[in-house]
Structures are given as structure tokens and as C-alpha cells.
Chain A
Amino acid sequence: MAAPDSDSDEDLVSYGTGLEPLEEGERPKKPTPLQDQTVRDEKGRYKRFHGAFSGGFSAGYFNTVGSKEGWTPSSFVSSRQNRADKSVLGPEDFMDEEDLSEFGIAPKAIVTTDDFASKTKDRIREKARQLAAATAPIPGATLLDDFITPATLSVGFELLRKMGWKEGQGIGPRVKRRPRRQKPDPGVKIYGCALPPGGSEGSEDEDDDDLLENVTFAPKDVMPVDFTPKDNVHGLAYKGLDPHQALFGASGEHLNLFSGRPEGTSNLLGDIGVNKGRKLGISGQAFGVGALEEEDDDIYATETLSKYDTILKDEEPGDGLYGWTAPKQYQRQKESEKDLRYIGKILDGFSLASKSLSSKKIYPPPELPRDYRPVHYFRPVVAATSENSHLLQVLSESAGKSIHDPGTQSRHQLNASKRGELLGETPIQGSATSVLEFLSQKDKERFKEMKQATDLKAAQLRAQSLAQNAASSRAQPPSPDVGHGSWHTALRGGTVTTKASNFKPFSKDPEKQKRYEKFLASMKRGQKDALEHCLDPSMTEWERGREREEFSRAALLYASSHSTLSSRFTHAKEDDDADQVEVPRDQENDVNDKQSAVKMKMFGKLTRDTFEWHPDKLLCKRFNVPDPYPDSTLVGLPRVKRDKYSVFNFLTLPETASLPTTQVSSEKVPQHRGPDKSRKSRWDTSKQEKKDDSISEYLSLARSKVGPLEQESSPFVNKEEVHMKESLSDKPVNKGVDSQAEGGDSRPSMDLFKAIFASSSEEKSSSSEEEQGDSEDDQEGAGEAGFRSPQEELPSVAHNARQKLEAPQKEKRKKNKEKHKTKKEHRRKKEKKKKHRKHKHKGKQKNKKSEKSSSSESADSSDSQSEEDTADMSPQELLRRLKHLPLQRQ
């Protein structure tokens, strides 16, 4: 910088602006330090730099939101009135003007983005891109791009257009020459200005040999686009990777673009030629080396300059693409030219097909058998009867088809059980789920009777309905399975396994469904390995695995649907899964007779049911009424617990349930009365009695009769016990048997049944033989002691089943007498042996005896088990015991 000098004004050249002359006495201005230098925007506001390019944007007051005072909304405008025209705010609403300007983050001005920018500038690159695309895995991908290139054309383009230039033509004077062959002349003379002129002209001159008069052509410019028809189901312009090419990269053209380039041109990208030797594996950088490859070079390509071409070579004849990679098509054409030599001359306008025609496959006609006669022969039709079955077979065999043995056909459709049948195997008993099979003959007969009865009823009903239908001339097919259905329901009462649910996911495959139900049942019992148990062991591991998954999913599904549905439904009155159900003690009587009573207007006793009903204590309090059952904990109607599917339900007919209701109404004629604290509810006497139903009533009745006798006998028992131990005389034994024989006239009591069924000592104590012997002893001891036989207390309850059971039992009892004597002898010997052990047992025995005398519930000494055992027992077990019933009854 040169300051103007006053002395040499004329010969000095001054650059720049001069400083203002200093005034007198003024201190020279200090330059503003860097920290004080400010930049202001067009409105004079301070601008702070935040980013690299546009200065970023400054948010609010020194990067805080809002103003110096903090954030304040510009002004609150209630939008209540103009809610309708409130538009949705976008991000732009919160931006400054700078952001919307050209260099902001959201420029408002329309700017062509890179994607849509015209590619005309870089024409060579564009061309290369096109070429690459033609051979790329997805050929013609750039084609679409070209179609949608925006119309932002430069002035040059527009000028050219106005002059008659068309896209795709070359620029220059129209040429007199024949149209060139399909040889593409990629992009050479597009814009003369942009290209080295020599190359393009040279190529043109080559074709000037034979001219047609008066015909001029625009110089050729455009590479012909190879439109191949789409013959696949891929998306438009999609070509999947050929696995052959991708994996065995040797022939992969698209992976290996430059492998087949003409001699002399060198690779721009690495030395891929090395890969040519490979036969297997994905090749390329960073793919690693496969196990099959020997060489492990070139995994991590090291770029060295030696890999690049350093000299430009001018081998490319006439296309002027110096140093550019040879396009595939170009190269291919050369090859086809080579092929020409073999074919000869090609006509003008034709080119050699690049793809060979796929030859049609011709299938030869089938060879005729030697003895074939071209005349149809009708076979005689033979009716299949027993006599001519042989003939039929012969005929059909001659016809070339053998009669299918039903067993042999569709071997794969058979399941394990069917195959077993074919092989003559006996089906496995354990998997049989029908309780019927466990029933004794008598029970089966009884079932049959029931069935017949119901069948009969159903038949009568059907007859009635048929008559009615006939009268109304409405044809309705008689339902054939009415009786069957009832049979089913009767069965279902006994089968616990089928009760579970009517959610049957595998109903198509009954075997599987059976397995599934088994699985569910064992799940409910809490077995963890439930799945493993119920799967068919004959299945393969895979099948089992699948089924395991299916079952667990189905179970889950069932459970979840159960839970979701449960929100919509009220609870069932009876739990499906519980073995015991709470049944209202008193049922409202049958409606039928009441209806007739109503019809006859005989209201009163016939239409009235009276029940014991327990109001809630609090309700009584709120109503200012004394609690009628102050000692009762019950609320509502008294309920009894009853086994849902127990054998007792079979043994006791429903009449017994309805009996006590009449009793209640007849026995009790309750009147208004004051508070009676001493009054106790019948249902609260003891929990044990609550459990067993109406039988307990009879029991208590009988007990009151037997009561004194019992008291007499109980000391007697003790005496006898002592006596027995010491002298082992036969006397008490006889007594016991006698007493039993006396009781034999009446039916066996429910107690006995209960006792038998409730006893599970056999399983529990039979772990060792000795223990079993002990329990036997105990049983016999009970018999000897002449403990009150339960038969005596049984009131006569009309019951078919029990009466049936009766007759053989009586006979057996006589036999048992004989048996008993022989047993006694045996036992005496045993006794000596076990005397020692018996002493140990004494305490226990006594306890049991005392229990018995108090509760008189159990006749069997070995069963001190509670009734819960019955609940836990499987129906099979129950039925098994039922079968052994007469034997145990001694």
C-alpha cells in the first residue's frame, strides 16, 4: 500500500482507499480488536456465527430462547373464536427469515436439487454412467432418470433447439452419407465446443465412402437404447443378481466390469484381472478369502500407483474416448464382427443376433407297444359278487390295476393305531380313556338299562312329535341320535377326562385331541412334565417337538381367551374343573306339577317351596331384624358339597335330594318369633356333616337309635382288644362275624361305600410288604372287635343299584365265613411273629378306634383318610375299587 506523498504526486500510482487524514491533536484510531468486530445482517441486527457456512442460526437471545427478558410469547390471541381457520403449524412457522433464505436450512426459493439437476454439463460422465448402467446388474436404471430430467436447460440448448437441433442429434451440418450401422458413436460430437474436434471428425470421415445423393443426415449422436422386452416377474427394470455370477465371479460381467476390455487399456480400478483365476467364492475387496481359495492375496487391496495407467494410449479407434473405459456394448460389437467371419456377409440393416435362438425342444411321440391295435375293445362288465370275485380280480389285473387292499392303500394316511390294528396288535389299555371299560358288568348293564329307558322315552317323544308334525304337515327328519345323545350325557357324567372343555383345537385329529386333553388334564394337576407324558412315544422327535409347541400354544390360547371372555360373562354356577360342586341343598321342585297346579288355580302348598335362607348378618342389622341364625356363618341358601362326577351320583338317585325339602317344610313350621340365640343352624353342626349330603341326615337319625348300643360296645371293644392280644381266643372273632351276619340282611350302607372308596391306604402303605401285612391285621382286628357294623344303621333308600349288588354279596358273605376261619389259623401264626410289631402299632390302632367310635364314618380301620382323598382320586381308581367291592366287604 502506498500512501500519497505530497512530493511526488504525479509519478505515483495509488491503490486502495486512503485513510482519512488525521486531524490535529487527535490520537490515531486504534483498530477494532477482533473480539469487538461485529457482523450485521441486512437489517442491521447483530449476527453471530454459529455454523461454518451460513452462519447457522442464532436462537433467540444469545442462544437462549426469547428475548433479553426471557421467553415471552409475542402476544396471546385466543383461538376460541376462529378455531375453524386455525391452520396446522409447521416447522416453518417457527423459523426466522434467514432460515428461509437461499442459504438457510429451509430455503424457500426453488432450487434444483442434485437429483434433478441437469446432467448436460458433464456429458461424458453421463455417457459413462449410461454405459455402465446398460451392463450393470439393473440395466437401464439411468434410463428412467433420463426421462425425468428437468427442463432446466441452458441457453445453449435452447438456442440449438431453435436452430432445429433435436436432442440426440449431433451438432453440425447435415451430412451426406448413408446411415451408419448400429455402431454407437457414444457422445463424441455432441457439443463441438466441449470436445476435441479431431476425434469426432475422423470417425465421421470414415463413413463417407458411399454416399446417397440428396440425402443428408444429421450427424449421429445417440447411442441406441437397447430395449429388451420384459419377460420376468420382477419389478420394472429389476434384474436380480445371478447367483452364478455373484458367487462364481469368474464370469460375472457386472461384478467385473472391466475384465474383458481391449488389449492395452489398463484398469482404472485395481487389478481385477487377478480374480480371473478364481473359480469359486465371492470375489472382491473386503469379502475375505473363502476356504476353497488358495490365494489369499488382494483381500485388502493396497492402492499403488503402479496399478494405474500413467500414459494415454491412442488405440481406441475413432471414438475419441481417450482413457475412458470401454463400454461393454462397444466391445461386444467387436466380437460380433469377429463372428462375422464365420457366417459370411450380413445384409444391410441387419446385425448378428447377440443371443442365439433357444431351440425348441421336440418330444418324440411315445412308442407304441408292439401288439397295439388301434381299435377300442370294450370289456365285459362283471358285477362284483362273492362268486365271481376271483374273476373280477383277474379281470382287473388284466386291466392293469389291482384291486386295492384297503389295508395296503394309502400307507401314509394311516396313523399309529390303525397300523397297529392292521398288524394285529392289541391296543394299549393305558391310553383308553373311556371309563366304560373300567365298569363292571353290572354297571354296564345298568347303563344299558338307562339307555334303553331313555331310548324308549325318546322314541315315544319322537312318535308324539312325528304325529304332531304329520298333523301340521311339516316334514321333519326324525333325529336319530336322541337316544344316543342321552347315552352320551350319561357317559359324560362318568368321564372326567372329557369334561374339561369344549374348546377342541385338534378335533380333526381325534388322536391328537385326545393327547391334548390328556395334556390339559395333567397340566391342571400341576405336572410340569405334562407335555412329555402325553405325547405319543411312537412319534418322531420332530413331530413331538412340533406337537409340544402346538399344545402349549393351544393351551395358552385357550387360557387367554378364557380370561378375556371371562370379563364378559358371569361366572358359571359350577366350576367345570372342580371335582366337587356346591349344590344348593334344597332345589325348587319340579315345575311340571306346579304348572298343572297353577292351571287348576290350586295355589298354596302345591306352588310353594320353602327354604331355609340365611340373610347376611349385616343385612339383618340394617333391617333392624335379629339374625335368625346367630350361630350360622352361612349366607344365602344352604349348600352342600357334592362330588360332581362321583360314583355316589350314580348310586344315589335324584329322589334323595328332593326328599328332605318336603321334610323341611313339614317338620318346621316356623313362626315369627323373637331372637333365639340358642338356636343353631342344622347346617352348622359339623363340617363333616356338611360335606356329605342327605345321607348324613339318615345317619344322624340312625345314630340316635344306635347311640346307646354304641356306647355299650365301645368299652367292649377295648376289652376285646386286650383280650385278643393276650389270649387270642376265637370268641370275639366269631362275635364280630356274627354281628356282621346279622347286619347282612340290610343293604350295605353308604358309609361302607364311602369307606371303601375313600380308603387309599393300599397305594399309600403298600410300599413294603410288611406294612401291608400290618394293615391287613388292622382290618381283621376291626372285624374281630365286632365294631358296630355300618349296615345296621342304614335306612332303606330305594335304590336299584344297591339292591342288585345285594344278592351276590350275601352269598359271598357265607363263603367269607369259611374263609375267615382259615384265615384265622393263618393269622394266629402270623400274630406270633408279629407280636413284637403289633405292640408298636397299638397306639396307632387305638387312636383310630377312638376316631371311629366318634365319627362312625369309616368302617375300615385302615382308612383314616379324609374324604378329600376321594376328590383327588381319579375315576379309574374309583371304578377299580367299585369292581373289587364285594371282596372288600367282609
Chain B
Amino acid sequence: MSFPEPKPRGPVLPQKRLKTLDCGQGAVRAVRFNVDGNYCLTCGSDKTLKLWNPLRGTLLRTYSGHGYEVLDAAGSFDNSNLCSGGGDKAVVLWDVASGQVVRKFRGHAGKVNTVQFNEEATVILSGSIDSTIRCWDCRSRRPDPVQKLDEAKDGVSSVKVSDHEVLAGSVDGRVRRYDLRMGQLFSDYVGSPITCTCFSRDGQCTLVSSLDSTLRLLDKDTGELLGEYTGHKNQEYKLDCCLSERDTHVVSCSEDGKVFFWDLVEGALALALQVGPGVVQSLAYHPTEPCLLAATGGSIHCWREEAYEPESGTG
């Protein structure tokens, strides 16, 4: 007797506010999930970086060592290291367990907007307001970056890394994709200063948000416009955007205190979550589950789907 194929579950959106964490580290500049989505990092304006279990709301560790506010952070694939960049122009490599600074990469001329590990956490890519992306080698003790990508004409606001590509959005209104395998640089002109870029999870598209309150889904290979998503407000701040765990929806912060969900294909507004009164400056989407973290003010909010029941035992 064979069971019928389970009916594919329809996409669910996180609508239930599960937890609100007051991070206690000033304004939360960024919130990031770790690689498997069990933990999250919050970057505070009080120079600290905190590791949380967002579902339980427990603070696991505080990483202090930055000289100025922390603007972005990322975790390595094996959860052993963290990297963060901040207003002190430094990129810091942390040891998760000990909380110690492993390396501090200095060289940026301006504050570091965004940091990313590569797939194997051997290189940190940091995009800075000094219009460069620097590739720092974590393996060697070299103080200089491996390579400096200085093609941007203005500050780099967002950097994303895939296995062989570096996607960078810059304030000069261009999305640049460095393809290491092909040895090519693709530069797509969007016009408005770009606040956030990300790859779709299938690696075929890039999502670009810019300061004209528009999100655009571009075909990665040709640069053609696949979709446009508007309705939110993004004119001043560097707000995050992302795609949902199964690429069904486009998610973006907004300056009016909401998080917007659009249907990826239709481009219709699916949901607008009212997170708080102020600007929702950062968000992170769980890699596998419909779980959203949104940072507003000094706190982060964890949202789950309606059907979610917090497990009592292990989390």
C-alpha cells in the first residue's frame, strides 16, 4: 500500500509575534540568523555583538571588542566563527565559543557597512562606505586584503556571496556581480542608491532594493527585470530585504514600521506586518522555516507562522 504523495504545503507567512527581545545594546543595527537558523546575531550601537536564541529569547554570549557601533555581522558555515564590521572601520573575526577576537582586519577607510563569509569561511568580504569591497583572508596572517574590489563609485551598501559570485550593491546605483568562475564583472544599473541585494535561493535571480522605495527582481544572467515590488517606504535608511525560505515571497523592511511581503511571481502585496512604530531597520529570514526576525529600535521581534507551537523541550 502506497501512501499518496504528501500534498505540498502552501506557503505560510510568519504572522504571529512569538517573542520580543529587548537586546539592551542600544539600537539594533542588524539582525542575522546563523547558518541553520537556530541562533541569531544582533549588532548593537553600543559596540557589542550579541548571540541569541531567538525562539527562547536567551542571550548566549556578548562579543565586545569593536571600537564603534557594529553594523553587520555574519556567521560561518560551521558556526565556529563570526565576522562583524562596524563604524570603527574594522572587520573582526570572532571565535564563537570563547568570545575572543581572532583577527581584526583594518584597512577600510570608512565604516564597514556589510560583511559576509564566503562559503567555506575562508574569506571575509566586507563592503565599506569607502566604496571598496575587501576580501580578507582568514587563513593566513596577512594584514592586507587578498583583493580589493574598488569598482564601485560610491559606498558599498550590501555584499552577498554565493559559491562563486560576489553580489554587491552600491550607493552609486549599480549592482555589481563578480563572477569568479567566469572572470567577469556584470554591472547592472538601477539608478537609485541601492540599499540591499540578495540572491534568490535558487541562485537564478537577484533581489535589489533601492532608495526609490522599490524592490526589483533581476535575472541574474541577463540583468532583465523580472518583477517590481512597491508599497513600502524606503527613502532614507539602509533597509534589508530578502526572499522567503522557499522563494515564494519577497520580504522587505519599511520605514513606516512594517515588514512587507509580496508574492514573488505576481508582485502583489501579500502581507504587511506591523512590527513597531519606528523604522524596521533590519530583518532576517530563517533559511528553512517561515520565521522572521525584524529589528526595530533597540529590540528584535521574532515572528512565526500562525500554526507554530513553541516546543517545550528542545529548541
Residues of chain A having any CB pair with chain B under 8 Å: 570, 588, 591, 594-595, 597-598, 601-605, 607-616, 618-620, 622-629, 635-637, 670-673
User: How many angstroms between the C-alpha atoms of A625 and B122 in the bound complex?
Assistant: 13
User: How many angstroms between the C-alpha atoms of A725 and B187 in the bound complex?
Assistant: 61
Residue B297 CB within 8 A of the other chain: no
Residues of B within 8 A of A594 (CB): 189, 191
Tell me, rounded to whole Å, the shortest Cβ–Cβ distance linking A744 to chain B. Answer: 43
User: How many angstroms between the C-alpha atoms of A625 and B151 in the bound complex?
Assistant: 21
Contact B123 A625 (CB under 8 A): no
Contact bitstring B142-178, A, C-beta under 8 A = 1, else 0: 0000111111000000000001100000000010001
Of B61-69, B217-225, B284-292, which stretch is located at the interface? B217-225
Contact B224 A603 (CB under 8 A): yes
Tell me, rounded to whole Å, the shortest Cβ–Cβ distance linking A13 to chain B. Answer: 98
Query: B223 contacts which of A603, A626, A670, A671 (Cβ < 8 Å)?
Result: A603
Residue B185 CB within 8 A of the other chain: yes
- Which residue from chain B places its CB closest to the CB of A573 in the assembled complex? B150
Residues of A within 8 A of B218 (CB): 603
User: How many angstroms between the C-alpha atoms of A602 and B146 in the bound complex?
Assistant: 36
Residues of A within 8 A of B225 (CB): 601-604
Residue B97 CB within 8 A of the other chain: no
User: How many angstroms between the C-alpha atoms of A613 and B184 in the bound complex?
Assistant: 5
Contact A618 B118 (CB under 8 A): no
User: How many angstroms between the C-alpha atoms of A405 and B53 in the bound complex?
Assistant: 92
Contact A636 B188 (CB under 8 A): no
Contact B224 A604 (CB under 8 A): yes
Cross-chain pairs A/B with CB under 8 angstroms, 8 sampled: A598-B189, A607-B189, A609-B187, A611-B185, A626-B181, A628-B180, A629-B183, A637-B151
Number of A-B contacts (CB under 8 A): 119
Residues of B within 8 A of A616 (CB): 135, 146-147
Extra 14 A-B pairs, beta carbons < 8 Å, given A570-B130, A608-B188: A570-B109, A594-B191, A595-B191, A602-B225, A604-B223, A604-B224, A607-B188, A616-B135, A622-B137, A623-B164, A624-B119, A637-B151, A637-B185, A672-B182
Contact B122 A622 (CB under 8 A): yes
User: How many angstroms between the C-alpha atoms of A625 and B183 in the bound complex?
Assistant: 10
User: How many angstroms between the C-alpha atoms of A597 and B184 in the bound complex?
Assistant: 23
Query: B190 contacts which of A570, A604, A607, A673 (Cβ < 8 Å)?
Result: A607
Residue B141 CB within 8 A of the other chain: no
Query: B187 contacts which of A601, A608, A619, A628 (Cβ < 8 Å)?
Result: A608
Contact A670 B182 (CB under 8 A): yes
Residues of A within 8 A of B163 (CB): 623-625
Residues of A within 8 A of B189 (CB): 588, 591, 594-595, 597-598, 607-609
Tell me, rounded to whole Å, the shortest Cβ–Cβ distance linking B93 to chain A. Answer: 14
Query: B216 contacts which of A588, A603, A624 (Cβ < 8 Å)?
Result: A603
- Residues A611 and B184 in contact in the complex (CB < 8 Å), given A598-B189, A604-B223, A616-B146: yes
Contact bitstring B105-128, A, C-beta under 8 A = 1, else 0: 000010000000011101100000
Contact A610 B222 (CB under 8 A): no
User: How many angstroms between the C-alpha atoms of A671 and B225 in the bound complex?
Assistant: 21
User: How many angstroms between the C-alpha atoms of A601 and B216 in the bound complex?
Assistant: 10
Tell me, rounded to whole Å, the shortest Cβ–Cβ distance linking B273 to chain A. Answer: 28
- Which residue from chain A places its CB closest to the CB of B130 in the assembled complex? A570
User: How many angstroms between the C-alpha atoms of A108 and B52 in the bound complex?
Assistant: 68
Residues of chain B having any CB pair with chain A under 8 Å: 109, 118-120, 122-123, 130, 135, 137, 139, 146-151, 163-164, 174, 178-191, 216, 218-219, 222-225, 228
Contact A628 B120 (CB under 8 A): no
Contact B184 A619 (CB under 8 A): no
Query: A615 contacts which of B120, B147, B223 (Cβ < 8 Å)?
Result: B147
Query: A609 contacts which of B181, B186, B224 (Cβ < 8 Å)?
Result: B186
User: How many angstroms between the C-alpha atoms of A625 and B189 in the bound complex?
Assistant: 27
- Residues A625 and B164 in contact in the complex (CB < 8 Å), given A607-B189, A614-B183: yes
Residues of A within 8 A of B139 (CB): 622
Tell me, rounded to whole Å, the shortest Cβ–Cβ distance linking A572 to chain B. Answer: 13
Residues of A within 8 A of B135 (CB): 616, 619, 622
Tell me, rounded to whole Å, the shortest Cβ–Cβ distance linking B174 to chain A. Answer: 7
Tell me, rounded to whole Å, the shortest Cβ–Cβ distance linking B101 to chain A. Answer: 21
**A603, A616, A635, A671 interface centre (most CB from chain B within 10 Å):** A603
User: How many angstroms between the C-alpha atoms of A615 and B151 in the bound complex?
Assistant: 13
Tell me, rounded to whole Å, the shortest Cβ–Cβ distance linking B156 to chain A. Answer: 14
- Which residue from chain B places its CB closest to the CB of A603 in the assembled complex? B225
Tell me, rounded to whole Å, the shortest Cβ–Cβ distance linking A590 to chain B. Answer: 10
User: How many angstroms between the C-alpha atoms of A622 and B136 in the bound complex?
Assistant: 10
User: How many angstroms between the C-alpha atoms of A671 and B183 in the bound complex?
Assistant: 10
Contact A622 B118 (CB under 8 A): yes
- Which residue from chain B places its CB closest to the CB of A604 in the assembled complex? B224
Residues of A within 8 A of B185 (CB): 610-613, 637
Residues of B within 8 A of A636 (CB): 147-151
Contact B184 A612 (CB under 8 A): yes
- Which residue from chain B places its CB closest to the CB of A679 in the assembled complex? B183
Residues of B within 8 A of A670 (CB): 182-184
User: How many angstroms between the C-alpha atoms of A609 and B139 in the bound complex?
Assistant: 33
User: How many angstroms between the C-alpha atoms of A601 and B223 in the bound complex?
Assistant: 11
Contact A635 B181 (CB under 8 A): no
User: How many angstroms between the C-alpha atoms of A588 and B151 in the bound complex?
Assistant: 10
User: How many angstroms between the C-alpha atoms of A613 and B139 in the bound complex?
Assistant: 24
User: How many angstroms between the C-alpha atoms of A671 and B223 in the bound complex?
Assistant: 15
User: How many angstroms between the C-alpha atoms of A628 and B222 in the bound complex?
Assistant: 20
Tell me, rounded to whole Å, the shortest Cβ–Cβ distance linking B314 to chain A. Answer: 34
Residues of B within 8 A of A609 (CB): 186-187, 189
Residues of A within 8 A of B183 (CB): 612-615, 627-629, 670
Contact A618 B181 (CB under 8 A): no
